[in-house]
Amino acid sequence: MKEIYLDHAATTPLVPEVIDAVTDCLKNDYGNPSSLHRLGIRAEKRIKDAKLKVSELIKASPEEILFTSGGTEANNTAILGTAYDKKRRGMHCITTAIEHPSVLEAFSHLESQGYEVNYLPVNRDGVVSPEDIKNCLREDTILVSIMHVNNETGSIQPIKEIGSILNAQKNRPVFHVDAVQSFGKLEILPHFLGIDLMSLSGHKIHGPKGIGALFIRKGVRIQPIIFGGKQEGGLRSGTENIPGITGMGAAAEWTARRKEETPYYLSGLKKLLAEGIKKTLPDAVINGGLENTAPHILSVSFPGLGGEILLHALEEKGVYVSTGSACSSRSRKYSHVLKALNLDNSTIEGSIRISISYLTTEEEIRSFIPILAETVKRIGRFTRR
């Protein structure tokens, strides 16, 4: 049975160039970058090279990149690090109801420490209104954190408009963007969008898991949240994950070589996918619509069906999808994102997320559509009343 992996928003397979780079590093460059001898200097150079490669993809400078253990740590560092640094100026923050748990939980932690957080709603397409953000700003607002692409629906948030609104403020709050899902798929250039802090992750761009980065615009100050040997100028203590960092650098380089064609290629596949589903399963509902969504994520519901039953039935056929966000799909709670879109319970329960990457082929999409149609119809016969 030929397997079809359509869960690239959860994680992506490593490409050979990344595996080669990480293997070479593991074999040859085992030095500690803090060591003063040659091996240490070689390890340090690997960090510098990788910072350059990641920074080039977002038109920033290497000094603006801080490697972390992933998108989760980047989000926590941005949010807690800003809140602690700006506490004297204010304790009010703004975010949305559809953020990733690594953002929502960091804010919930701040609330327990006396900070005030507004979680703004989104419209039926899963998009926050820049006007709502403007109306919510106060003298004591220190941080606005908005994701670029939502991991469950693919909805794209109006980052440019929000950046302009914030730039016009006298007491400008720090602007953090979780760009984990858009990095490498859509262009996101922090210096051109008024972004101060931006979270990235390696394993969504064919790099290893457990490595990510936070872009910190030159001049923006945050407090560390990890303490110890003062690596990275004291911003993140702990011996650097050199193999992971090398892998993320190699993945960024691989991604950069394809960055012009990637959005077009993915959009073409997504269109094929959506049209195929609509034709074979006319009752299917595309959550968040197709306009203004990222080219690699399609959230689709079959009201009356169980998304999890569908996921496992597809798995039997060698097809891998997700029921919601990878990070929350093990919990039995309804997706907070689909709830925020005001969908009814039956639509939420019957939803799956299909996500692709540059490695997905047209042939895979063409093979997947009849498998999905047959599986939905078969399950529907047993479960629909």
Ligand X SMILES: Cc1ncc(COP(=O)(O)O)c(C=O)c1O
* Strands (DSSP E) found in 160-206: 174-178, 197-201
CA-to-CA dists, residue 21 to 68, 200, 214, angstroms: 19, 20, 22
Q: Helix, strand, or coil here: 302? A: coil
290 binds ligand X (CB under 6 A): no
Residues forming beta bridges with residue 201, ordered by sequence position: 212
Residues forming beta bridges with residue 175, ordered by sequence position: 144
Residues forming beta bridges with residue 300, ordered by sequence position: 286, 352
322 binds ligand X (CB under 6 A): no
Regarding beta strands 285-286 and 297-301, do their DSSP bridges make them parallel or antiparallel, or are they unpaired? antiparallel
196 binds ligand X (CB under 6 A): no
Among 77, 201, 293, 357, binds ligand X (CB under 6 A): 201
Smaller CB distance to ligand X: residue 203 or 270? Answer: 203
Smaller CB distance to ligand X: residue 91 or 174? Answer: 174
Smaller CB distance to ligand X: residue 72 or 287? Answer: 72
Give the chain's count of helices (H) and strands (E).
13, 12
Site string for ligand X, 18-57 (x = CB under 6 A): ----------------------------------------
Phi, psi of 102 (to 5 degrees): -70, -15
360 binds ligand X (CB under 6 A): no
How many C-alpha atoms does 101 have within 13 Å on its Cβ side? 9
From the list 25, 93, 136, 327, the catalytic residue is 327
102 binds ligand X (CB under 6 A): yes
Smaller CB distance to ligand X: residue 103 or 379? Answer: 103
With CB under 6 A as the rule, give the number of residues binding ligand X.
Answer: 16
Backbone dihedral region of 342: left (phi > 0), alpha (psi from -120 to 50 degrees) or beta? left
Among 39, 97, 256, 327, binds ligand X (CB under 6 A): 327
Residue closest to ligand X when measured from CB atoms: 71
Among 71, 190, 249, 288, binds ligand X (CB under 6 A): 71
Least distance (Å) between residue 373 CB and ligand X: 28
Smaller CB distance to ligand X: residue 25 or 297? Answer: 297
Among 15, 25, 58, 70, binds ligand X (CB under 6 A): 70
Closest CA to 220 of 82, 58, 48: 82
**CA–CA separation, 214 vs 198, rounded Å?**
6
Determine the Cα angle at 267 with ends 265 and 272, to 5°.
100
Report the site for ligand X in 144-183 (rule: CB under 6 A).
147, 151, 178, 180-181
Told to judge if 327 belongs to the known catalytic residues of this protein, a careful annotator would answer yes
Scanning 55-63, 69-77, 268-276, 362-370 for contacts with ligand X by CB under 6 A, the matching segment is 69-77
248: Cα separation from own chain's centroid: 15
In terms of DSSP H, where are the helices of 14-137? 16-28, 38-57, 71-85, 101-112, 130-136
218: Cα separation from own chain's centroid: 23
**CA–CA separation, 67 vs 267, rounded Å?**
30
Scanning 65-73, 110-118, 221-229, 242-250 for contacts with ligand X by CB under 6 A, the matching segment is 65-73
Least distance (Å) between residue 161 CB and ligand X: 20
Least distance (Å) between residue 152 CB and ligand X: 8
- Binding positions for ligand X, rule: CB under 6 A: 70-72, 75, 100, 102, 147, 151, 178, 180-181, 201, 203, 212, 326-327
Catalytic positions are 327
